[in-house]
Structure 1
Amino acid sequence: MHVASSSRPLSRTRAVLFATVLCLAGSTALADLRLGVSVGQFDNYIAYLVRAMQERARQVPGGVTLQVEDSGSDVVRQLGQVESFIAQQVDAIIVNPADTAATGGITERATRAGIPLVYLNSRPEVREFPAGVVFVGTDERRLGQMQMEYLAEKMGGKGDLAILLGRLAHDDTRKRTAGVKDVLARYPQIRVVEEQSGDWQRDKGLDLTNNWLSSGREFDAVVANNDEMGIGAAMALRQAGRREVSVGGIDGTPDGLAAIARGQLAVTLLRDPVAMGEEAVDVALRLVRKDVVQGDVWIPVHLITPDNHTQFQRY
């Protein structure tokens, strides 16, 4: 895990990560390696993850080639992509799961083939991993808690709340929403008046919020499971002249940071896609080198508000 300092957290983290890559190229040569990468669905956030992995691969002395495939949220297709990587005898596999409850076949095939496997961004729904399998990501429940703690204080501990859920089948949706409700249990005067899925998408967040407003629904804040839905909600609220409604997101994407700067979002949580993507490649290379890496590699998260957002403008 890389811990960021408070003054220039992201630039220092990047320096530590780059030093890690140089160390990897040290005692054991890593040359002409191939990593197979399968992502659940190529959206805005995943694009930054992939870009970070590609940039990290270019930095590694000796050369690392990434083969990136998009499963389009299809678990069968993703399993087929992993099987193709195994047939090609790639050196390691990185998977952003299409469905966190359907990774058993991926794990079984990779471990049987003796190929290191790194799960990225969304943790499979298993208690522990076998040797050679590692998860790189963030604590999703804690993200929801931090998001709602900030909004609850901003609401003065009372009022009506709308929740924009991510994809319902996605474990991150469940964990982030559970974190939100952990906090709401301490605030009985905050009432949830709407709770619907926007499927992680900006346009659906906008449409749902427009529908709520058109039906006469009143609320004081919107908590969204990601920035994209939060930005959509904020757009609808601005169009309706409801700038006083606070909107919270999660991810800290460049669009999310820009929305903080514009006053559209009141808060977001940075799940740093650059640090996460870089770390996934680093961990894969360590596994290829037979270093001992086990369990979960947690990437630190950062609460971003109008007061501190300029510290995190790295893109």
Structure 2
Amino acid sequence: MEASRRQPRQGVTLLLVVTLLLAAGCGGSRGASDGGGHRKVSVGLVTKTETNPFFVTMRKAAADAAEKNGAELIALTGKFDGDNEGQVDAVESLIARHVQGILITPSNTTGVLGAIAEARREGILVIALDSATDPADAVDATYATDNLKAGRLQGAYVRAVLAGRPPELIMLDGTEGSSVSRQRHDGFLKGFGIKNDSPAIRGRANTNGDRNLAQAATENLLQRTTHVNSAYTINEPVADGASAAIAARGLTRQVTIGTIDGGCDGVRAVRAGKYAATVMQFPVTMADDGVAAVTEFARSGRKPVGFTDTGTQLITDKPVRGLASRTTDWGLRHCWG
């Protein structure tokens, strides 16, 4: 953990997306104004990747919210889910650009804390979106899915579909050290009704939330055993990769796949029978609330605090007793991406 401000590194490879709103040519400099002599509110957004539909949706929603709130958005991203170094550099870049607030979906719950602390020392409001930091009070506030709840919903649903059959489970997690990965994993096991050392878990792998890594990991797990009847997947790209590997083995009817996200492609996959259910989350709400909080802080000094649950909804066309759910018709009206 750094005690003093780090100098930004030269030549760092970052995937950079910059959205400048309101007036052409008004960049993120200290002197930018709204045309009335006031400095425009500048909001930084740091996501995990620029390819996952969840973060693409979040970035677009943040840009729309910035325009609505009379602010500008500077959006940066890591190269991949787990690219802590890239996120640290992104935060340092935003500090140098004198933004008033930073919204971040941390890839590593602790790795970016030094940069966040530096930003807060500079008087910048920092809000975590989607993924909490560890400790949670390392940021001013968090707007996110209750990932334990989302995991419990997924686990309870998949176990109910087994209808009393002994579970034979594979688990496809996200990124090691990620609070989201840990919380969803733990929530799933609680909803599924087993412990982490249960012999019912026939295999597990980290996938960094990536479809191709998930497909390869599932293929490897199925080479060890095809005695599998259920699969936990951390998100819909992972579920898609797992589904492809399971289908290639002719096991689609045998294996119940649950997942979390609620993107439109994921909801369509549930409708098509590739997954049994998805737990929808709401990245647009996270972005809207985060941008609004930064603009309020910049104009009034009022800071948000604590954790705000932005919601979850189980989506399936095969409901089970005891679990509230919505159909894919509803899901397609409320999905994202």
Which category describes the TM-score, using the shorter chain as reference length? 0.7 to 0.9
Find the partner of 1:300 among 290, 308, 311: 311
Q: Given residue 239 of structure 1, which amino acid in structure 2 is its aligned partner?
A: A
- Once residues 96 and 59 of structure 2 are traced to their aligned partners in structure 1, the CA distance between those partners, rounded to angstroms, is 22
1:39 equivalent in alignment to 2:80: no
Q: Give the structure 2 partner of residue 218 of structure 1.
A: 227
1:90 equivalent in alignment to 2:99: yes
- Asked whether the 8 Å contact 2:176–2:206 carries over to 1, the reply is yes
Q: Given residue 170 of structure 1, which amino acid in structure 2 is its aligned partner?
A: S
Find the partner of 2:252 among 240, 243, 247: 243
SS at match of 1:145: helix
Q: Which moved more, 1:262-271 or 1:282-291?
A: 282-291
Aligned-CA RMSD value: 2.4
Q: Report how far residue 90 of structure 1 moved.
A: 1.5
- Asked whether the 8 Å contact 1:36–1:93 carries over to 2, the reply is yes
Q: Report how far residue 292 of structure 1 moved.
A: 4.2
Q: Report how far residue 179 of structure 1 moved.
A: 1.0
1:175 equivalent in alignment to 2:186: no
Q: 1:221 to 1:103 in 2, by over 3 A?
A: same
Q: Report how far residue 88 of structure 1 moved.
A: 1.9
Percentage identity across paired residues of the two chains: 23
SS at match of 2:142: strand
Runs of 4+ in 1 over 6 A off after TM superposition: 187-190
- Once residues 223 and 38 of structure 2 are traced to their aligned partners in structure 1, the CA distance between those partners, rounded to angstroms, is 59
1:138 equivalent in alignment to 2:157: no
Q: 1:137 to 1:30 in 2, by over 3 A?
A: farther
Q: Report how far residue 189 of structure 1 moved.
A: 9.5
- Once residues 255 and 32 of structure 1 are traced to their aligned partners in structure 2, the CA distance between those partners, rounded to angstroms, is 37
- Asked whether the 8 Å contact 1:159–1:189 carries over to 2, the reply is no
Q: How many residues matched?
A: 283
Q: Quick one: higher RCO (CA 8 Å, sep 6+), 1 or 2?
A: 1
Find the partner of 2:160 among 150, 153, 156: 153
SS at match of 1:159: coil
SS at match of 2:307: strand
TM-score (ref. length: structure 1): 0.82
CA displacement, residues 18-45 of structure 1 (integer Å, 9 cap, x when unaligned): xxxxxxxxxxx99732112222332312
- After TM superposition, list the pairs within 5 Å mapping 1:164-313 onto structure 2: 164-185=172-193, 191-244=200-253, 245-289=255-299, 290-306=301-317, 308-313=327-332
- Asked whether the 8 Å contact 1:129–1:295 carries over to 2, the reply is no
Q: Give the structure 2 partner of residue 100 of structure 1.
A: 109
Q: Give the structure 2 partner of residue 18 of structure 1.
A: none
TM-score (ref. length: structure 2): 0.77
Uncovered stretches (5+) of structure 1, i.e. residues with no partner: 1-28
Uncovered stretches (5+) of structure 2, i.e. residues with no partner: 1-36, 319-326
